[in-house]
């Protein structure tokens, strides 16, 4: 059941400012990618994906795994294997070329078979995330490690895509600190549908 108190007015105002900053900062983000692309051409390949333009994935709606970098892909690999063995399709979103290349190497047979896709994560624009959801229609999303991207979280809620944080370690002291002042970070965390955490046992 949707929480009528979420998001609060202060968070809605903060999200509006956040979106505005992304629009203002977009030229600098593109310049950053262009600069990195001089050393690694993969930074500027498939640029349209970062704006939510994807080739739709055939078959049943996939599980979505958000693994930004090389280390996160390696952490996610056993989880992805488990989903594949259960007959699921998987789409992985990345930000760095190293992460994407690792997925393309480790899951090359599955990519060829159409059961795995590796794509860039969209920029933090609502229209880009809506394009991602139209193309893939994910059953749910799993975010490796602690990745708190407000547009991603809020657009998942709007699209009805449950988003879970994996390997989550959010100490009570950190949560208490984040609740101080405006408490925006703590409130954004409420947008997750749940978290997968280590057991005390």
Q: How far apart are CA 118 and CA 100, in angstroms?
A: 6
* 99 touches 72 (CB < 8 A): yes
Separation of alpha carbons 55 and 179, rounded Å:
40
72 annotated active-site? yes
Tokens of 6: 């979420």
> What are residue 72's phi and psi, to 5 degrees?
-70, -35
Cβ atoms within 10 A of the Cβ of 78, count?
Answer: 8
Q: Which residues pair with 91 in a beta bridge?
A: 64, 117
Select which of 72, 102, 124, 155 is catalytic.
72
The two three-digit tokens of residue 188, written as one number: 């954004």
* 3-class secondary-structure state, position 181: coil
Catalytic annotation, residues: 72
């Amino acid at each position: 059941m949707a929480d009528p108190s979420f998001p609060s007015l202060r968070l809605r105002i903060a999200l509006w400012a956040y979106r505005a900053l992304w629009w203002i900062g977009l030229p600098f983000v593109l310049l950053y990618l262009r600069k990195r692309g001089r050393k690694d051409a993969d930074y500027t390949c498939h640029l349209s994906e970062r704006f939510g333009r994807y080739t739709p994935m055939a078959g049943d709606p996939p599980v979505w795994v958000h693994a930004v970098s090389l280390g996160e892909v390696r952490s996610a690999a056993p989880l992805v294997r488990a989903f594949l063995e259960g007959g699921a399709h998987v789409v992985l979103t990345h930000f760095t070329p190293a992460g994407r290349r690792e997925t393309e190497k480790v899951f090359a047979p599955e990519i060829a078979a159409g059961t795995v896709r590796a794509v860039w994560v969209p920029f933090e624009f609502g229209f880009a995330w809506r394009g991602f959801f139209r193309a893939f229609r994910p059953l749910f999303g799993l975010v490796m490690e602690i990745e708190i991207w407000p547009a991603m979280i809020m657009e998942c809620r709007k699209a009805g895509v449950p988003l879970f944080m994996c390997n989550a370690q959010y100490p009570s002291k950190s949560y208490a600190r984040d609740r101080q002042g405006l408490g925006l970070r703590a409130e954004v965390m409420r947008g997750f549908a749940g978290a997968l955490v280590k057991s005390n046992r």
